[in-house]
Structure 1
Amino acid sequence: MARRGSLASPANMVTLTLGLLLLTPAAAAEEYDYYSWQSDNFHNGRFYTKQPQCVDIPADLRLCHDVGYKKMRLPNLLDHESMPEVKQQAGSWVPLLAKRCHGDTQVFLCSLFAPVCLDRPIYPCRSLCEAVRDSCAPVMETYGFPWPEMLQCDKFPIDNDLCIPMQFSGNHATQTPASKVCPPCDNELKADTIMEHFCASDFALKMKIKEVKRERGDRKLVAAQKKKKVLKMGVLRKKDLKKLVLYLKNGADCPCAQLDSLGSSFLIMGRKVDQQLLLMSIHKWEKKSKELKFAVKYMKSHQCPTYHSVFQ
């Protein structure tokens, strides 16, 4: 059950404040001094020499544009001091939202990347971090990414401090359900989705798959020897293309409908991790798909942003 408490409890104070922000005009874009707070359980306080500002959350900050409030503070709580830096670093987390690993993923990430503009910094509660981490870390591991150091949950305040609590605490029925499909197989055939994975991947190919095997909890994809169309060479070498083998990390048993029939060609995107080629995304190559045609054409001229390697 959700935790009960008086309206004046720290968690409810944060929730009430966030609610009021949605009902009243956004805070004026003004500068003010602040000294980051610390408690016995939270020793990650910061001092900024640059005065924080309230700024609009821009439409192209896709991670947080629709988070529920309009203004954010700069510098944010991850020490990003400019909006270009925030966009660059936050962009690598957008694909994680699409995986629906936890209902509070956006709330947690945006509390750090685009913190609500109040007179003091409000961090996510440790329990919120732990809930999102426990649900989303296995998804990230599928792509070869560990849970990053900058999001280690013991850095955040315990729940009896002033912090942002879980929105879905104890009420699993309201959580966005996590998909049981293998994450690289659970992507819409939409141009935006394809391009997100294209930019996040080390390489992209149009190819056929000869066979699929299970190996130590992973699924092993052996490419057919027929000619492959390289859409993004990246880290691949010519010898990699001759005997191309990809791995669906922790994917031995999760469903992947694309691999039920190997007769067609596939759009394959992946990363190289510890000498292994990991599958990031797979789509059947549907010739009549306008979305696929547009994405493939766009790949030729699109300049991908440079992301920080946390969840690309």
Structure 2
Amino acid sequence: MHIFYPTGLVLAMLVPMLAVSDFEPVNSWSYKKNPTCVDIPEDLRLCYTVGYHSMRLPNLLEHETMAEVKQQAGSWVPLVHKGCHPSTQVLLCSLFAPVCLDTAIYPCRRLCEAVQDGCMPIMEAFGFPWPSMLNCSKFPEGEVCIDTNDTTANTSVISVCPPCDDDMSLDAILEHMCASEFTIKAKIKEVRKENNDKKVILQKSKAVRLGNLKKEALKKMVLYLRNGEACNCQQLDSLGSMNLLMGRKVGKRYLLTGIHKWDKSKEFKKTIRRHKCPNTDFQFK
């Protein structure tokens, strides 16, 4: 028996269909620690709009406090914004913010595999492997589990390099910025092809948010757009234009994780400079 769980549907409507004796949970450790039912707070951006209003603590990722859930979930919001699969939010929130039921209900394996097919190329473009927390083989196949009617990946987004998707609201840009390790304002001097990547040489770089990097790193910073040769990045075609660039260090390289045209409006500049990111040290691990 499966729970079909389309985005926007209140899961409570399906509670009468559940029979706890129908299955053995994959891992019900958290439900043996006196779990509590709490409202999903508005600032838990990943799951506030998922379609139900209450969640269990501890959750299915061993987070015991809401502060920990918020900290760990924040870095996943940009992946949902990328639209790599319509059920990405459902999969993530079934683990970060499990619905309040007497028994742990895990995502179905086919749901996990469908999201993986759509989103793994996006994550690889950012230098992240598919995380162990989303190892699809550990989720149930024929038991009660959370599923959706849509298991088709949105492959159209791959035509544009994921870091180059500039069709974002200001809120989405801020969340993307906070999920990256550093953010700079810079003009692009030159773009070269290097193997399957694009090598981005900068000029006039200025720190916006450096994280653990030192200012000296900006002087010789070169960014790489992973697998950039196979997709389009319109922003890199406008040499000399000012851009907001985001990235992270992987090994000895600085990978480009986001690039947006610099908005000269006072509102944009003021918001970018004054925005304070929460402590999101968890990065798609």
* TM-score clears 0.5: yes
Q: Which has the higher strand share?
A: 2
Once the two structures are superposed, the pairs formed by residues 12-91 of structure 1 within 5 Å of their partners are 13=3, 15=5, 21=11, 38=24, 42=26, 44-46=27-29, 48-91=31-74
Partner of 1:135: 118
Matched residues in 2 for 1:22 and 1:161: separation? Answer: 19
Matched residues in 2 for 1:215 and 1:20: separation? Answer: 48
The one-letter code of the counterpart of 1:264 is S
The one-letter code of the counterpart of 2:236 is L
Matched residues in 2 for 1:147 and 1:81: separation? Answer: 24
Partner of 1:208: 187
CA RMSD of aligned residues (A): 2.8
In the TM superposition, what is the alpha-carbon distance from 1:98 to its structure 2 partner? 0.5
- The 3-state SS of whatever aligns with 2:229 is coil
Partner of 1:297: 273
The one-letter code of the counterpart of 2:188 is I
- The 3-state SS of whatever aligns with 2:281 is coil
Q: Given the alignment, which residue of 157, 160, 164 partners 2:140?
A: 157
In the TM superposition, what is the alpha-carbon distance from 1:185 to its structure 2 partner? 0.9
The one-letter code of the counterpart of 2:174 is M
Matched residues in 2 for 1:234 and 1:246: separation? Answer: 16
- The 3-state SS of whatever aligns with 2:255 is strand
Partner of 1:252: 229
* Residues 1:261 and 2:242 are matched in the alignment: no
| Off by >6 Å, runs of 4+ in structure 1 | none
Point out the structure with max Rg over C-alpha.
Answer: 1
Question: Cα 1:304–1:117, aligned 2, differ >3 Å: closer, same or farther?
Answer: closer
- The 3-state SS of whatever aligns with 1:306 is coil
Q: Given the alignment, which residue of 136, 150, 155 partners 1:168?
A: 150
Q: Given the alignment, which residue of 115, 118, 132 partners 2:101?
A: 118
Question: Cα 1:197–1:212, aligned 2, differ >3 Å: closer, same or farther?
Answer: same
User: Over residues 52-78 of structure 1, what are the superposed CA-to-partner deviations in whole Å (9 max), with x where a residue is unaligned?
Assistant: 122111111111111111111111111
In the TM superposition, what is the alpha-carbon distance from 1:189 to its structure 2 partner? 5.5
Question: Cα 1:178–1:295, aligned 2, differ >3 Å: closer, same or farther?
Answer: farther
Partner of 2:178: 199
In the TM superposition, what is the alpha-carbon distance from 1:279 to its structure 2 partner? 0.6
In percent, how many aligned pairs have the same letter?
A: 54
- The 3-state SS of whatever aligns with 2:38 is strand
Q: Given the alignment, which residue of 160, 163, 188 partners 1:184?
A: 163
- The 3-state SS of whatever aligns with 1:107 is helix
In the TM superposition, what is the alpha-carbon distance from 1:285 to its structure 2 partner? 1.9
**TM-score normalised by the chain length of structure 1:** 0.80
Partner of 1:31: none
Q: Given the alignment, which residue of 263, 268, 278 partners 2:255?
A: 278
CA contact (8 A) 1:190 1:291 kept: no
Question: Cα 1:189–1:263, aligned 2, differ >3 Å: closer, same or farther?
Answer: farther
Matched residues in 1 for 2:61 and 2:215: separation? Answer: 40
Q: Which has the higher helix share?
A: 2
The one-letter code of the counterpart of 2:145 is C
CA contact (8 A) 1:22 1:68 kept: no
CA contact (8 A) 2:36 2:57 kept: yes
The one-letter code of the counterpart of 1:38 is E
Partner of 1:30: none
Partner of 2:206: 229
Matched residues in 1 for 2:155 and 2:268: separation? Answer: 27
In the TM superposition, what is the alpha-carbon distance from 1:151 to its structure 2 partner? 1.3
CA contact (8 A) 1:125 1:156 kept: yes
* Residues 1:105 and 2:88 are matched in the alignment: yes
Question: Cα 1:275–1:65, aligned 2, differ >3 Å: closer, same or farther?
Answer: same
In the TM superposition, what is the alpha-carbon distance from 1:284 to its structure 2 partner? 1.9
In the TM superposition, what is the alpha-carbon distance from 1:112 to its structure 2 partner? 0.8
**TM-score normalised by the chain length of structure 2:** 0.87
Give the aligned length.
279
Question: Cα 1:303–1:65, aligned 2, differ >3 Å: closer, same or farther?
Answer: closer
**Structure 2 portions without partners, runs of 5+:** none
CA contact (8 A) 2:118 2:155 kept: no
